């Protein structure tokens, strides 16, 4: 049996699968911010834009951003890349593997890499460098969350949804060991308390 869930507001604590998740950005806030990002990308006047969501964590952000592009009048093409820098845990492994590459020729084109989180910067830098090597005219980056941590790679987000403290977040595409991607909000996973093992009430 599943029980329906409401859309919680910022600050609310949701208990899921024995874990406490505090909402840091609710659905409505995210939707408004995504539309603003789409306007900002359109204002940069991209030429022959190819949008490359860096999967998997960006899939919901990218889906919403792409539809926002349509609403603001920006037409694009889309291709996907799967990169992995995390295992099943919550710390970066330091190496970035291309698990799935784009099929599109980027030579001479503007490309927008779409990422969920900019943390050490290794993932985004690896993708950017690859596309630059292939002759992209301009490689821009849009990230949902810009984590306030020291970067290990020299990369900045051209477009960022929100800055984010150095905490582990899930939801809106982002996972902890493949769970919680479906949450319509962005939440911080809080340290476990005595309720561990309980499902949401
Ligand atoms: P970076 O390569 O260190 O910049 O790491 C970026 C990638 O790590 C993101 O694309 C995410 O997939 C993952 N990541 C970093 N922080 C978190 C987090 O708090 N929750 C879930 N995934 C994260
Ligand atoms: Mg990712």
CATH of 27-164, one of 3.40.605.10, 3.40.50.2020, 3.40.50.150, 3.30.230.10: 3.40.50.2020
DSSP β-ladder status, 92-100 and 81-86 = antiparallel
Ligand 1 contact, 44 CB (< 6 A): no
CA of 39 to the centre of ligand 2 (A): 23
Query: What residue owns the CA closest to ligand 1's atom 19?
Result: 168
pTM: 0.91
pLDDT tens per residue, range 10-38:
999 999 988 999 999 999 999 999 999 99
Which has more confidence, 1 or 23?
A: 23
Ligand sitting nearest the alpha carbon of 90: 1
- Closest ligand 1 atom to residue 175 Cα is 21
CA of 118 to the centre of ligand 1 (A): 7
Ligand 1 contact, 92 CB (< 6 A): yes
Q: Two tokens at 60?
A: 């919901």
- Closest ligand 1 atom to residue 167 Cα is 19
The answer to whether the beta carbons of residues 56 and 173 sit under 8 Å apart is yes
- Closest ligand 1 atom to residue 116 Cα is 10
- Rounded (5°) CA angle 7-157-164: 40
pLDDT tens per residue, range 65-124:
999 999 999 999 999 999 987 554 555 556 888 999 999 999 999 999 999 999 999 999
CA of 49 to the centre of ligand 2 (A): 21
Domain boundaries, the chain: 27-164
| Residue found by looking up tokens 């990369």 in the block | 155
Q: Two tokens at 23?
A: 């909402």
Nearest to 59 by CA among 82, 27, 30, 33: 82
Ligand 1 contact, 86 CB (< 6 A): yes
pLDDT at 198 over 60: no
d(CA 188, CA 171): 9
Q: Two tokens at 52?
A: 């490359």
């Amino acid at each position: 049996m599943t029980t329906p869930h409401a859309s919680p507001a910022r600050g609310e604590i949701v208990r899921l699968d024995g874990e406490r998740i505090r909402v840091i950005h609710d659905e409505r806030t995210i939707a408004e911010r995504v539309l603003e990002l789409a306007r900002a990308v359109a204002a940069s006047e991209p030429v022959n834009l190819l949008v490359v969501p860096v999967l998997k964590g960006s899939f919901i952000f990218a889906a919403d951003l792409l539809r926002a592009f349509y609403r603001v009048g920006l037409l694009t093409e889309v291709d996907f890349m799967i990169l992995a820098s995390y295992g099943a845990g919550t710390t970066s492994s330091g190496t970035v593997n291309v698990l799935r590459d784009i099929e599109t020729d980027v030579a001479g084109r503007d490309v927008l890499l779409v990422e969920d989180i900019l943390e050490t910067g290794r993932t985004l830098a690896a993708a950017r460098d690859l596309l630059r090597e292939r002759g992209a005219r301009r490689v821009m980056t849009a990230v949902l969350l810009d984590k306030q941590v020291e970067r290990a790679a020299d990369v900045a987000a051209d477009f960022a949804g929100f800055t984010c403290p150095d905490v582990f977040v899930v939801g809106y595409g982002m996972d902890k060991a493949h769970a919680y991607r479906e949450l319509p909000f962005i939440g911080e996973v809080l340290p476990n308390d005595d309720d561990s093992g309980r499902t949401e009430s």
